[in-house]
Structure 1
Amino acid sequence: MNAPSTAGPEAAAERPPRLRPQSLMLTYLGNYVLGRDIAVFSGSFIAAFARLGVGEHAVRSTLSRMVARGLLTRHRSGRRMHFGLTPRTEEILRDGEDRVWRQGVVNDDWDGTWTVLAFSMPESWQRVRHDLRARLVWAGFGSLGNGTWIAPSRVDVRPIVAGLGLNGHLKVFTGAAEQPTDVAGMLREAFDLNGLADGYRRFLRRWDRPRPLPGAPDDLARYLWLTTEWLQLVRADPRLPVEHLPADWPAVRAQRVVTELRDRYGPAARLLADEAMEFIPLR
């Protein structure tokens, strides 16, 4: 969407983040369609995403792919095509909303409980293995290798593995780590702490300033970029216990910044989105 540049980090911080159209689409749907039981005119998506530099072809391709994946439904009204949410998408969006605005990324009330999951499956089950790993990462697990994953909390694994047909292939335990376990070292082994920290620092360079993205067309564009970039970080963040993280862990400041900017840009962004949206009720 945005052309790569050789400019330094300060110049890069004044440009929008590079985000996939589907990620932006999910943010738009979660903010302005979820809970309204409506189907939105395709032209409204095209107009909204033009603000973000996403062209009509990319928007139409994204909508078609999401229909094919069961994430959207088509609804024709006269000669116009509208798109509504599926139950699966509503579940995904509500989960994302909970992760972003209710749980947060800083775990400062950890009770010392770990969930340990071990799996073993035939090598031919590559697709199942891939799906399981993706679900475990989203649920806050990190890999210790050899099919062993850990999460710094008590996790109900049943909804995570539902539908994968893994009965008999998983072992799950919960409990405290005992001496001489090096908990901080185990976190570094299972989770990419440097990568997580770098992501938050890039976020802060872009957004922790008096007027972020001065070239943005309006607050709707800013808000969609802000919340989509933040969700990408949250997806990768397992909410590690703050007592085992570096004292200057950047997620703490980043959480405050995103909350402040949500309050600053959110109301104006909603007005702009509602004014530009054409839709039909589904009931």
Structure 2
Amino acid sequence: MAQPQTLLLMLFGDFVLDRGVSVFSGSVIDVCARLGVSEHAARSTLTRMVNRDLLQRRRAGRRMYFGLTERSTAILRDGRTRIWETGAVNDRCDGTWTLLSFSLPESWQRQRHDLRSQLAWAGFGPIQGGLWIAPGEVDAQQIVGELGLEAHARVFHARAGALTDIGALVRDAYDLDGLARNYAEFLARWDGPPPLTDPLAARLSLIAEWLHAIRRDPRLPVEHLPAEWPAVRAQKVFRELETASLAPARAIAAGLLDVI
């Protein structure tokens, strides 16, 4: 089960993003009740999200409403791209790889940590030392630029030579067992009898758990992955359930959410 903050982000991403509206706190609490989250936990989560610049308060009379911030809008748009546009299965790779090499002073531990975190989020895996690789053409220059590390990194776009065993390289650079385990856990919960009968609660949980499964997936070329890669089945299950849940969940949300 996803954490309350993640579920609320899914709520705002599904029914508030790009609408320019705020949601009454009582409506949010009603949705949380459908998800098995107590009123106290819901209110605490809303407060934490405001403190983390994920939500902003807006008072109207005696009522408190919550809307998205620039930060949460960017996070949700990125998630939307990963879920509905990019997908989890890379079956159209043209053989191009992005290589990034960097060399940072030993004392720059924070900068090294930040760079590695950003690279992992962007789909990179370490080959050796300061050399990382990602499938396709990734805008790695933007990553190092935002961290102020342009003078310490080099970016290349290349294709593997005939002597390079891409399958072995992928196994060395990425935690394939961990990636597969995320999809296996998703399938164990959703590929069968529905774990939740409430359409709105089921939809928010489904999207939250799918995002958890794909968020660290670098979308490696499927031809270089083990046979029966679980992302293929998991993506099919997700898309079928997401499509089926859309209309009933929206009907419930329309009657439940008080927005301004």
TM superposition score normalised by structure 1: 0.86
The amino acid across from 2:51 in the alignment is A
Q: Deviation at 1:116?
A: 0.9
Q: Paired residue for 1:68, among 43, 48, 51?
A: 51
Bigger helix share: 2
Cα pair 1:51 1:217 within 8 Å, conserved? no
Query: Taking every aligned residue pair, what percent have the same amino acid on both sides?
Result: 56
In the other structure, the counterpart of 1:136 is 119
* 1:226 is the counterpart of 2:206: yes
Give the Cα–Cα distance (whole angstroms) in 1 for the partners of residues 209 and 237 of structure 2: 13
SS of 1:140's partner is: coil
Q: Paired residue for 2:254, among 266, 274, 283?
A: 274
Cα pair 2:126 2:133 within 8 Å, conserved? yes
Give the Cα–Cα distance (whole angstroms) in 2 for the partners of residues 121 and 26 of structure 1: 36
Provide Cα deviations, 1:56-84, integer angstroms capped at 9, x if missing partner. Answer: 23322322222222222111112222111
Q: Deviation at 1:226?
A: 0.7
Calculate the aligned-residue CA RMSD, in Å.
Answer: 1.7
In the other structure, the counterpart of 1:250 is 230
Q: Which runs of 5+ in 2 are unaligned?
A: none
Cα pair 1:142 1:190 within 8 Å, conserved? yes
**Structure 1: which 4+ aligned runs deviate by more than 4 Å?**
none
* 1:187 is the counterpart of 2:167: no
Give the Cα–Cα distance (whole angstroms) in 1 for the partners of residues 27 and 109 of structure 2: 39
Cα pair 1:75 1:84 within 8 Å, conserved? yes
Distance 1:249 1:219, change over 3 A: same
* 1:212 is the counterpart of 2:177: no
Distance 1:96 1:257, change over 3 A: same
Give the Cα–Cα distance (whole angstroms) in 1 for the partners of residues 119 and 23 of structure 2: 33
TM superposition score normalised by structure 2: 0.93
SS of 2:133's partner is: strand
Give the Cα–Cα distance (whole angstroms) in 2 for the partners of residues 189 and 71 of structure 1: 36
Q: Which runs of 5+ in 1 are unaligned?
A: 1-17
Q: How many residues align?
A: 260
Provide Cα deviations, 1:12-40, integer angstroms capped at 9, x if missing partner. Answer: xxxxxx32222212211110110110111
Provide Cα deviations, 1:90-121, integer angstroms capped at 9, x if missing partner. Answer: 22211111111111111111111110112222
Provide Cα deviations, 1:150-178, integer angstroms capped at 9, x if missing partner. Answer: 10111112333443221212111110122
Cα pair 2:88 2:231 within 8 Å, conserved? yes
The amino acid across from 1:103 in the alignment is T
